[in-house]
Amino acid sequence: MKRILITGAAGFLGSHLCDRFIKEGFYVIGMDNLITGDLKNIAHLFPLENFEFHNHDVTTYVHISGNLDYILHFASPASPIDYLKIPIQTLKVGALGTHNLLGLAKEKKARILIASTSEIYGDPLVHPQKESYYGNVNTIGPRGVYDEAKRFQESITMAYNRFHGLETRIVRIFNTYGPRMRLNDGRVIPAFMGQALRGEDLTVFGDGSQTRSFCYVDDQVEGIYRLLFSEYDLPVNIGNPHEISILDFAQEIIKLTETNQKIIFKPLPKDDPLQRQPDISLAKKLFNWTPKVDRAEGMKITFDYFKSLSEEELFRSEH
Ligand code: NAD
Ligand code: UDP
């Protein structure tokens, strides 16, 4: 049985990756310090014989006994609200955490895939974003803690690849959504859906003309899975190119949730990218990946998930 370590296992993407690798017959070692994650996302895996969980902060030395074939490094706060609240931990998990996991991969001769992000393109001046674009990041702005940690993460990963001959993969993830996102994590989809369910006005930041392109989690997991087993070691974008403005998206959510909420406007956070759309021609060429789930279908599944949460969870406000 092949053994894989997944960091950030109790988070949104990490928990779906655990499910996928369990389904594929792997022995899965989940690791998380629960800073933004929740054990309930992986509670169903605890009884399984091919799953174990380590409550551990990856910015400190990571030890795993026995062999390891693969590592997926997904530990990191991912929502702007989270990384603004815990900026130093965000920098540390991208830098020190990645260094520890690369060291572990080297020791175990494991292939490692790290979770990078469309945020490395910053507020992009090229549209849509291709992997060859170097980005436009404000290093000292509030979002810099995340963007620069992820840029460093890519650099150190390529250094281990070139200097130590380590087998590495880098996925640049564009806005991904689905069940198990934290209702109060501040990202736009849980924010709007939570507001609709609580009967609150939807908060659009700025004038809502900024764009995003939302990818359903199953498509993202499939892309990551194919990338891991591909022979390509430079960064690859995985996301859904179907772009929408945040104002139009708010209107879509009002329709979907069949609520009559109003839209209210709040200031645009500093350095909030004005446009974002992945160019996914490389993923298509390398491993024939394209997203399959359209926004209407994915949003419906996600809304059903948020609707199924308890009143207590719905009204618990962390921010
Ligand atoms: P998430 O917050 O749901 O999950 C992150 C997990 O990492 C949490 O369970 C958290 O507790 C854990 N974690 C954080 N710091 C840790 C540390 N020092 N040690 C151990 N565990 C730690 O976020 P997510 O959306 O699932 O994102 C997962 C990864 O994917 C992140 O690396 C993120 O940067 C990347 N990513 C996600 C998106 C997206 O749209 N969801 C987009 C781009 C990149
Ligand atoms: N956004 C918004 N209202 C909210 C939360 C977010 O208008 O309540 C906007 C935010 O300013 C950004 C977009 O939605 O332009 C996506 O934000 P998110 O935090 O989901 O992700 P990111 O900015 O990292 O793409």
Give, for ligand 2, the residue of 117, 150, 212 to mutate: max count of ligand atoms closer than 8 Å to Cβ.
Answer: 212
Closest CA to 271 of 122, 91, 125: 122
140 HSE (CA, 13 A, CB side) = 0
Q: How many angstroms separate the Cα of 46 from the Cα of each of 38, 114, 180, 239? A: 13, 24, 17, 30
The model's confidence at residue 118, banded by pLDDT at 50, 70 and 90, is very high
Look at residues 291, 125, 305, 133 and name the one whose alpha carbon lies nearest to residue 213: 291
Whether ligand 1 lies within 6 angstroms of the CB of 8 is answered as: yes
Task: Say if residue 142 is preceded by a cis peptide, omega within 30 of 0.
Answer: no
Spatial separation of the C-alpha atoms in residues 17 and 77, rounded to whole Å? 17
pLDDT in tens, 186-234: 999 999 999 999 999 999 999 999 999 999 999 999 999 999 999 999 9
Q: What is the pLDDT of residues 51-93, one digit of tens each?
A: 999 999 999 999 999 999 999 999 999 999 999 999 999 999 9
Ligand 2 pocket check for 272: Cβ under 6 Å: yes
Ligand 2 centre to CA of 115 (Å) is: 20
Q: How many CB atoms lie within 10 A of CB 244?
A: 16
- Strands of 236-238's sheet in order across: 51-55, 27-32, 3-7, 70-73, 111-117, 168-173, 236-238
Q: Quick check: 95 and 149 in contact, CB under 8 A?
A: yes
The percent helix, strand, coil of the chain (3-state, each to 5) is: 40, 20, 40
pTM of the model: 0.98
Percent of the chain's residues with pLDDT above 70: 99
Residues β-bridged to residue 130: none
Q: Is 265 in the pocket of ligand 2 (CB under 6 A)?
A: no
CA distance from start to end of the chain = 42
CA of 45 to the centre of ligand 2 (A): 31
270's tokens: 């500093």
145 lines ligand 1 (CB under 6 A): no
Active-site positions read: 146
- Ligand 2 centre distance from Cα of residue 191 (Å): 9
Alpha-helical runs (H) found in 51-124? 80-85, 87-92, 98-108
Q: What's the gap in Å between 71 CA and the centre of ligand 1? A: 15
CA of 277 to the centre of ligand 2 (A): 14
ipTM higher than threshold 0.95: yes
Q: Cα torsion for 152, 156, 161, 162, to the nearest 10°? A: 100
Top-confidence residue, 314 or 291: 291
User: Sign of dihedral through CA atoms 30, 33, 37, 41?
Assistant: positive
Q: Which ligand is nearest to the CA of 207?
A: 2
Closest residue (by CA) to atom 21 of ligand 2? 187
How far away, in angstroms, is 87 Cα from ligand 2 center?
18
Point out the ligand nearest to the CA of residue 273: 2
Please, is 165 exposed, middle or buried when counting C-beta atoms within 10 Å of its C-beta (0-12, 13-18, 19+)? exposed
* Alpha-carbon distances of 274 from 185, 246, 278, rounded to whole Å: 21, 10, 14
The protein residue with its alpha carbon nearest to ligand 1, atom 4, reads: 11
pLDDT at 318 over 70: no
269 lines ligand 2 (CB under 6 A): yes
H-run or E-run covering 173: strand 168-173
pLDDT attached to residue 316: 82
Q: Whose CA is nearest to atom 19 of ligand 1?
A: 57
Residue 242 has what pLDDT?
A: 98
Of 6, 16, 36, the one to substitute when testing ligand 1's pocket (max ligand atoms within 8 A of C-beta) is 36
User: What is the spatial distance between Cα 210 and Cα 266, in angstroms, rounded to a whole number?
Assistant: 13
Tokens of 143: 């979002």
Instruction: Write the residue with the smallest CA distance to atom 23 of ligand 2.
Output: 272
d(CA 135, CA 140): 15
